[in-house]
Structure 1
């Protein structure tokens, strides 16, 4: 009887949402004659709505995305409200219990169970995820893609259990075969990605591109928009890769080692890089082709270079950028500085650095001021950043922190899901 009542409730919920969608559909088709009404109605129940009873529903996301002051002030007020933070916090144990019935979990959380288009089905993507939270996974999940999740060996057992429980519900999501103890700014951070990349490359899914993520990333584009952007690269890669700035030189010229869970200089100078390779500067984020990863795993020059990088400081800021400029690596560019690419021009990640923020009138300003807070001189986005962010060409943005401010993620979730289901790409 309980199952029958639950089934009737879900049916009524779907019907209610469908009726609401008919009204939305009439507006969409009037302004978009090429829109396929049947595809919108078929998937309308997957849209995120206030009936999902998410605590953040008190926010007016439509107004926030339009930059309306009152809505932004209300969102800002919520970030300092203790009761609101208590209501949005989800303990790790919740996911262990929620995934006991995987079908119910995927239905309740509205995971996509089939590709939304043939174009997306024909262009599977791979994701290397160093740690994760479920809302990021749900935002990027598509059944034709493949996902490797690396959980730090230092992570609490409750975190590992929660992530394992979630991944066990999906055939295309798996935990990395060789987890490592991640150390900030040291080689193990790179090794975590490398282990996932190897597992992804050796999987049966013939993915086209791979994107690496961490738990504080969130997408700015739908899966179809990402697919179309990557198709336009025509086998090329997109990541920051520039001439080495002077203040970073010591990070790669001098030897470092891990001591008591941190990285310290040894006072010893390193030998020059192998094969006379020019070291380039970049960051930890990349969007690269399958061929690029083949070179990472098999090219003897790259293997020698990685060995050389193991005692440098923050090697993830240099390794990927350097490989991208090596002749013969699929999708690479020439090492000449005319081919330098900044993080602003690359599509991999939108990051606001504090020293580049400022007034639009200033010639030194790269982007407007952060509306959230700062951690290690990087903006942790607030609701006021969303309108600007969605105008950028990047696929993902960093950083978000749902523990301090879940509103930006909530509004992005709703925006992207509605966009994906409506076909407005």
Structure 2
């Protein structure tokens, strides 16, 4: 009897463990299945599917078998009609229908992405459709998006932005808006305003990227997360030793009206012990970097000193990146200089640098057109762009070449949903 009781207890314990094991396996399988369901039910917009064959021919530089699709795609190179502010004011009256119609992602596409939210500052002033397409390309529900709208923008544009933003709990208009003047302090202040707002959010984002209205991503959100994780807390941006010409931008006081005007009055030396560096307006920075910039007294002194310089966005961030006290920074030694082509933040083609790569040029000529000496990408840039390690590219304009944007939209959407086998490696 005693043996039977012991046996029964052992058998019951074994059966219990087996039952618990089955339950655990069930939940693992259910969770795996739910992850699959979270992406498998997401449809690729019809236009993306229609564009993909022709886009793949452009990206792979192989039109064989896709000649007809390519001809159809190329025939729609420029946009004849744009979605207006009125369109967005009307379509966003029913937010669920708008989100469904425009195919925004409504769930994280992987646990890795869910656990690594990214924050964005988006500084815009015109072209509502371009903004919405950029937002859609970057959007996932776990990320956070601060939209800075120039108050000089038309009332219709501002209202349309507010209408779009109102449909998403993780997208908001900055609490303080700046009237942005090209090459003035106001461009930096716009990003600083978003930095403060992003830090005040309950979302514990890990990295921050800043964007403008002519940007477009060349990586999926998952690829961005993988890249940012690999940084291990470091920042990535252009930061190089400066020359005498660029040094003049911060050595003299400047007055700001509707333009920035240099005076003959020399400024005092920078209020930091480390040297000044040159870079550009774009950055990839850790949360610790942003917290330090907003709260550190030495950084605040530098910010105050920078306010009357020319194009401070092209030397403030680059200088902070080389200050030893700043989280994620690099040493000031020339060994750590990083050009825009080496940094992750932004890939840009400058007209004066483009040329024959075989003869030493950093990149080939623009297939679109140049604006302020910067390439507005054409579809011919896509094979080159998708080989770059950068996260975002600048500039795009659907009125110049809509195919470049449509193909990136199709390519990134298919890749994000795991259809890598369809895409050229």
Q: What interval of TM-score do these two structures reach, taking the shorter chain for normalisation?
A: 0.7 to 0.9
In the other structure, the counterpart of 1:93 is: 86
Residue in structure 2 matched with residue 300 of structure 1 by the alignment: 297
Structure 2 partner of 1:200: 198
Q: Does the CA-based 8 Å contact 2:382-2:404 persist in structure 1? A: yes
The counterpart of 1:275, out of the listed 272, 277, 299, is 272
SS in 2 for 1:230: helix
2:250: which partner in 1?
252
Q: 1:107 to 1:242 in 2, by over 3 A?
A: same
Residue equivalent to 2:396: 400
State the alpha-carbon separation in 2 of the partners of residues 154 and 73 from structure 1: 41
Q: Does 1:109 align with 2:102?
A: yes
What secondary structure sits across from 1:86 in the alignment? Answer: coil
CA distance in structure 1 between the aligned counterparts of 2:48 and 2:299, rounded to whole angstroms: 50
Q: Are 2:152 and 1:154 aligned?
A: yes
Cα distance change, pair 218–322 in 1 and its aligned pair in 2 (3 A): same
Q: Helix, strand or coil for the counterpart of 2:357? A: coil
Give CA deviations for 1:296-340 in whole Å, capped at 9, x if unaligned.
Answer: 101111100011111110000000000011112110111111111
> What's the Cα RMSD here?
2.2
Please tell me whether the aligned partners of residues 280 and 321 of structure 1 are also in contact (alpha carbons under 8 angstroms): yes
Q: Deviations over 1:79-108 (max 9, x none)?
A: 4xxxx6324x11111111000000000111
Secondary structure at the counterpart of residue 359 of structure 2: coil
- Structure 1: runs of 5+ lacking an equivalent: 1-35
Give matches, 1:181-200, under 5 Å.
Answer: 181-200=179-198
Matched, 1:121 2:114: yes
- Residue matched to 2:381: 385
Given that residues 40 and 421 in structure 1 are in contact (C-alpha distance below 8 angstroms), is that contact kept between their aligned partners in structure 2?
A: no
8 Å CA contact 1:354, 1:378 repeated in 2: yes
Q: 5+ residue gaps in structure 2? A: 1-31, 125-129
**Bigger radius of gyration, 1 or 2?**
2
Aligned counterpart for 1:179 among listed residues 166, 177, 180:
177
The 8 Å contact of residues 59 and 74 in structure 1, kept in 2 or not, is answered as no
Residue 232 of structure 1, aligned match among 230, 235, 247: 230
What is the total number of aligned residue pairs between the two structures?
381
Which whole-Å CA distance do the structure 1 matches of 2:47 and 2:363 have between them?
Answer: 35
Partner residue, 2:209 = 211
Contact in 2 for aligned 1:258/1:264 (Cα 8 Å): yes
Match of 2:16 in 1: none
Does the residue aligned with 1:133 lie in a helix, a strand or coil?
helix
Look up the match of 2:239.
241
What is the CA deviation profile of residues 26-66 of structure 1, one whole-angstrom value per residue up to 9, with x for unaligned ones? Answer: xxxxxxxxxx99866653453434x3499x84982121211
Question: C-alpha separation between the residues in 2 aligned to 1:149 and 1:90?
Answer: 19
1:355 equivalent among 352, 371, 374: 352
TM-superposed CA distance for 1:267, in Å, is: 1.5
